[in-house]
Structure 1
């Protein structure tokens, strides 16, 4: 630019012909690169190069309406939104009065002629009346407001398809809008970040009505008793939500993501935060990944196996349940189906087990209709039930013989057939690991833990929030009876101020069975981490994601996630940060496990 000016004389006359200056080497190339090769204007759209564009101006918005143009973005489609706000001087009231008289007169004239009134005119009249009330009664300023939107696509067919969706969306919001017919160039200029409104399609709005329309403000998600889920990926503020808030339908969480994306790290961080806030946390840890964290938090870590010193009585009642007998019987029937390795017959479910269990309680001095007697008498064990069923003979004795592995002392009897000696109420955090349990015995062990947790939750009475954290949930949901129990918890926990937090890998895990679909439907909070390209589309259809959000799932790095709550209406991208000083407690890669081994002073045995 300086060289260009130097080539003009001090009197402003060019020392060289202007054409020569403008057509210097390179100048023409620059113009060719910047200027479009094609500019075609039609009545309601324009073609600029290889891009087709269509613009809209908004005539009226219902209170609180907010246009979300991002929901329509996808490969080959773009959208721009621009609005102008101009404060009006106080003397505008006189102009508004004249305008109101004109609009009202037109309405009266139409009615006398028997013609239908104009919706647009009625909306303008209502806006003018509202503005006059704000000025004359409230003394508040009024603004001129203009809102424009432009949709662009790589083909005319794609533009028509997307614009149809845009228009249907605006109609669903009761937004009055118009295509900018024969005004597309003026609208293009109005969308540029130059602050120049070439259309001047305005309406009156107050400051209160304008507030929800500003997409550039930093919306803060903050609830005083909530959890910091992560940093808002757009504005950098903490997203702090309370899953037990009155407006939340269910506090249960569903965490989904491929291995290595951060879902287990998110769960561990949540366990720590819940413990700090005074909540109780119970962790089902199949891979022993939470041992260091639970130890650091001063919790109890229970390793269940055939030779462990722990016992859990499957026949313990849930004293906090509305129907302790019914709940205990249901738990027993579920366990028996897992223990015998087949579906129980109708006679076994509806006759043999209810009769034998009721008789067993009576022998123990327990009245099923008197909850107080449950705590006074000694809870019978699986051994006691097996002996009574053998005495009954017939099909009951046949069923009793199938319980032998769970009652024999030299097999699993010490764990399944003794009074419970695991008190999970002593510490705020309790972890159960099943790392040493064989595959065929995993389901019965899981049922023990699930039944113990359910009794603890109902006994707590909702005084203290309780969280059940299940990592690698896909592994548990392979067992139908365990999956049914988890689905029942996801659905009923909210009544007891408790929440199920289940993490799994793939979208197919959430549609593979009816109980998986119940867990998905009951989740009040969903956290979606990175997905493989082929999985991202299926996740998007399951949770109603836009095409832009699906694309984000494919590109998410470690710790990036999409947080969904409020019945699927709130979607917020977050990043889950970690304190570097505590990273070793949360991450579970080979390097972290090796560092933990060194920290504990354990030296691996040499292999000869």
Structure 2
């Protein structure tokens, strides 16, 4: 049978110029096609079980037609099925036969499914699965059919050709929503949901599973297949991540995309942003942007932790030791540490704050109070320390410290933008912002899932004290239902230190984008990359990444953002200039 499309359809490009139908083959324009009907299925399937067919390298149309079965009809059919299976089993016993494993398994499955349908935990669907293979000639079509059938058999799928019904098979696989073959089987909700490629087979469900209370986030499209890469960082052993890439590879773009999608899930996000890249996202999402270094914006390092923190004064004194070491750029000898300890406590006492929790509501002292306490000591070393603090109390760098904290990071999204901070103060300002964020994270009165993003983390890793502070956060964040996202372009510097490697080791989610040739050897060793993975990271286009989540759990993906999301997170100067016009 041969059908020629009308001239108006040919001109409109609505279909092939001709269709010639044979018993086992259909000629569609310049191609030959044949349809296979899937008639047998495995007893159990996992997520994304159709992925091998969807990623077949040849031209293959996979069509899945689904029709829901009404609950009353489903219950009646299950009762009849269970009755037939039970009757078969009793007849076999009466005749003295052995138990049939297939019948026993089918009876158990039918009983379990009947209970799930009765409790409303699942539904039944009639589903038909069809495969249409294309090739330019008969010889290649026969080879493609053999390859597809072998692939299907490896998936425990039995296929039969749609003999004498090739036209119906071809139209069934067109995007028309019409099943003209009606070779359907009954699926339950779970098995049907597993058909869809909503997860990468490279990341098993056991690793990327839900149950965290947050849910999975779409990272992008699988770079080697047609599936999606979804990941739930809060379902891992810890909630931390590291994102490593060379400049311009798309690490901040990917991080902002995850931030935006975690906000959809109700996660509270705090960002330390050295380059003001997150401000547009924060404005669009109704977040708060705090700009330390700008006129009138101050952060007081002496602020005490929230109520409920054990021994808050002692914890604050210990933090101030580390902060002052970063601020002054030196490690204090034991004698000077003792002087600083006494001066800090003296500054607190000067405003009425002691170890008694009843005094902790009083306004905290300022950095100038510490300088005054040091200046009042008779030890010459105290006078030298007070002189070193002068630029930050009365000199050109006092703007950040010369008053109480002016802004509180409230709400679902808060961004600390450090662009206005002088380069000399950025490590100390970053540590101050992290401390303010950490006080929010550890607040026992407000427990919720949180993500703390530290962009350009190399600013902290340059100093040993700030690196130790970051390491403590990485080790402790999970206890407070928080994840620490470390993003940096100085991969080699991060992996060259013990503390940097410890931060990486405490991140269950590791994302690698394009790497510089100078750093690839260190990355390969640290993440145990294969030669192929290392070569991929040397040539990966912008936006492509390798997600590492443990042995055998790796997936290459391309970040996928909607146009609306892209407008909020892009930092491409050309696109931003076009948007301003």
Scaled by the length of structure 2, the TM-score of the pair is: 0.62
Superposition misfits of 4+ residues, deviation over 6 angstroms? 128-140, 191-194
Answering whether residue 246 of structure 2 is matched by residue 263 of structure 1, we say: no
SS at structure 2 position matched to 1:454: helix
The aligned residue for residue 334 of structure 2 is 346
Among 406, 412, 420, the residue aligned to 2:405: 420
Pairwise CA distance, 1:251: 0.9
Among 383, 389, 403, the residue aligned to 1:397: 383
2:511 and 2:540 mapped to 1: Cα distance? 13
Among 371, 378, 388, the residue aligned to 2:357: 371
**1:113-132 paired onto structure 2 within 5 Å:** none
The aligned residue for residue 21 of structure 2 is none
**Contact kept? 1:461, 1:496, Cα under 8 Å:** no
Pairwise CA distance, 1:255: 0.7
The aligned residue for residue 475 of structure 2 is 491
Change (3 A) 1:396 1:132: farther
Cα distance per residue 1:65-84 (max 9 Å; x no partner): xxxxxxxxxxxxxxxxxxxx
SS at structure 2 position matched to 1:551: helix
For structure 2, list consecutive stretches of 5 or more residues without a partner in the other structure: 1-44, 46-84, 89-98, 112-145, 152-193, 200-207
**Contact kept? 2:275, 2:418, Cα under 8 Å:** yes
SS at structure 2 position matched to 1:318: coil
The aligned residue for residue 243 of structure 1 is 233
Change (3 A) 1:132 1:473: same
1:237 and 1:262 mapped to 2: Cα distance? 21
RMSD value, Cα: 4.4
Among 545, 553, 564, the residue aligned to 2:537: 553
Change (3 A) 1:347 1:262: same
Change (3 A) 1:545 1:218: farther
Pairwise CA distance, 1:522: 1.0
Between structure 1 and structure 2, the one with the greater Rg is: 1
**1:161-560 paired onto structure 2 within 5 Å:** 195=150, 220=199, 223=210, 225-233=214-222, 234-244=224-234, 247-305=235-293, 308-319=295-306, 321-349=309-337, 351-368=338-355, 370-375=356-361, 377-394=362-379, 395-408=381-394, 411-425=396-410, 427-459=411-443, 461=445, 463-533=447-517, 535-560=519-544
Pairwise CA distance, 1:534: 5.4
1:132 and 1:501 mapped to 2: Cα distance? 52
Scaled by the length of structure 1, the TM-score of the pair is: 0.60
For structure 1, list consecutive stretches of 5 or more residues without a partner in the other structure: 1-63, 65-89, 92-127, 141-190, 197-214, 600-608
The aligned residue for residue 15 of structure 2 is none
Pairwise CA distance, 1:314: 0.6
2:546 and 2:534 mapped to 1: Cα distance? 10
Number of equivalences: 423
**1:4-23 paired onto structure 2 within 5 Å:** none
1:535 and 1:403 mapped to 2: Cα distance? 38
Pairwise CA distance, 1:580: 1.8
The aligned residue for residue 39 of structure 1 is none
